[in-house]
Every structure is written in structure tokens, then in C-alpha cells.
A and B are shown apart, each in its own frame.
Chain A
Amino acid sequence: AQSVTQPDIHITVSEGASLELRCNYSYGATPYLFWYVQSPGQGLQLLLKYFSGDTLVQGIKGFEAEFKRSQSSFNLRKPSVHWSDAAEYFCAVGESNTGNQFYFGTGTSLTVIP
């Protein structure tokens, strides 16, 4: 079965510091990969997605992610974190073999300290 692992439940970074959120997936074929952000009291918003091609993808709000097939990873990065980036981040895998379902990781909560 497909699975998505986000090993870090909670991360704290200082404003202006760099950020990397980890995501590992289990899927036989080339996956469709997504990162979503959930601000407090809000729904999920798509940050970026990877389907094929260049393994480094750019998203909104200055985020990027790199697909590494050999490591089954799709880590999210940002060079300089802003206080407004404090939120919950979810990695998701789209799976087409059994009915076009999305599988979400358990999320990483990001705290930004001034």
C-alpha cells in the first residue's frame, strides 16, 4: 500500500533561517507529489507539485521541493523563513492505480521564532 511519511512532527526555526521539511513516500511507479500548507483555521492550500520533468520544482511563497527517486523523497525547502510561514505542512502522493486517490502524510507543524 502507498504511504507517505513525514518524520518531523514539529519543527522550530528562527525567522530568516533556512528550512527543510522531509517527506518520504512508498509507491511503485513514478508518483504525483504535492506539498500543501494549512494555516490556522484555514483549509489546505497547494504550495507546489511534481509530476515529471525537472526534479526541482518551484512553488508559491518562495518554497521549492526536490524529487529524489533514489531516496523516495520529496523534501520541501525555503532559504529564508518568514514569521507568516508558521503553519502545518502536508506532503501528499497521488496514486492512479486504485481510483485516483491522494494519500497524505501526518503533517509537520512549523513554528517560527523572531
Chain B
Amino acid sequence: NAGVTQTPKFRILKIGQSMTLQCTQDMNHNYMYWYRQDPGMGLKLIYYSVGAGITDKGEVPNGYNVSRSTTEDFPLRLELAAPSQTSVYFCASSRTGGVNTEAFFGQGTRLTVV
């Protein structure tokens, strides 16, 4: 009954450090997404993937990289952390990519860059 699992839940990074936010889903969903949620803002799409080996940019991709080597996993990489990347990050998945399909969300990763 795991659904979408994100690790870590919290992280503090120093400027210039790098890290990978992990996301895994056990629902065999083809589509996976990374969003960021800033205070007082809606979720913004960073990257998405339509299946293993295929990724594409969303609305705010700068400063991030992703990979999708398996159906289950969709890690998000921050290479040179900046204060502007302080945010809450949500991973999501959906069975298909149509906008008439429900997305399932992880619990989020709260990242602070200092």
C-alpha cells in the first residue's frame, strides 16, 4: 500500500552542494512528475517522464536534472544548490499521461538551501 514514496522528508543544503531527491512508486504507473511548491504559490512542474528512458522539461526545469532508468524510480538531481531552490518538492505518478487521469502524490521533501 506504499503508493509514491519520497526520501528524504527534510534536508538542509549549503549553497553549491548537490543532492538527489528520491522518488519511487509501486503502482506500475508510466507517468511520473516532479513539482515544487513555494509558499503562497501553486505547484509548478519541474520535469516529467512518460516512461522509462523518456523525460521532458516542465515549467521550471532550470537547476535540475532527472533520469528514469526504471518504471518505478524517478530521481531529481540538484547539482549546485541555490537559495532559490528552497521549496517543498513533490513527486507524483499517474497511470496514463492524459489530463483526465488522477495523479498520486508523495508526502513531499522539504528542502532548505542556506
A residues with a Cβ closer than 8 A to B are 4, 9, 32, 34, 36, 41-46, 49, 51, 90, 92, 94-96, 99-107
CB distance from A108 to the nearest CB of B (A): 11
- 27 chain-A/chain-B pairs, Cβ below 8 angstroms: A9-B40, A32-B100, A34-B102, A42-B107, A42-B108, A43-B4, A43-B105, A43-B106, A43-B107, A44-B43, A44-B103, A44-B105, A46-B103, A49-B102, A90-B42, A90-B43, A95-B99, A96-B99, A99-B56, A100-B97, A101-B58, A101-B99, A102-B103, A103-B42, A104-B43, A106-B40, A106-B41
Task: Please state if A44 and B99 are interface contacts (CB–CB under 8 Å).
Answer: no
Give the nearest-CB partner of B58 in chain A: A101
The docked-state distance in angstroms from the alpha carbon of A34 to that of B56 is 23
Interface membership of B34, Cβ < 8 A: no
CB distance from A73 to the nearest CB of B (A): 17
The docked-state distance in angstroms from the alpha carbon of A78 to that of B18 is 44
Cross-chain contact of A32 among B4, B40, B56, B99 (Cβ < 8 A): B99
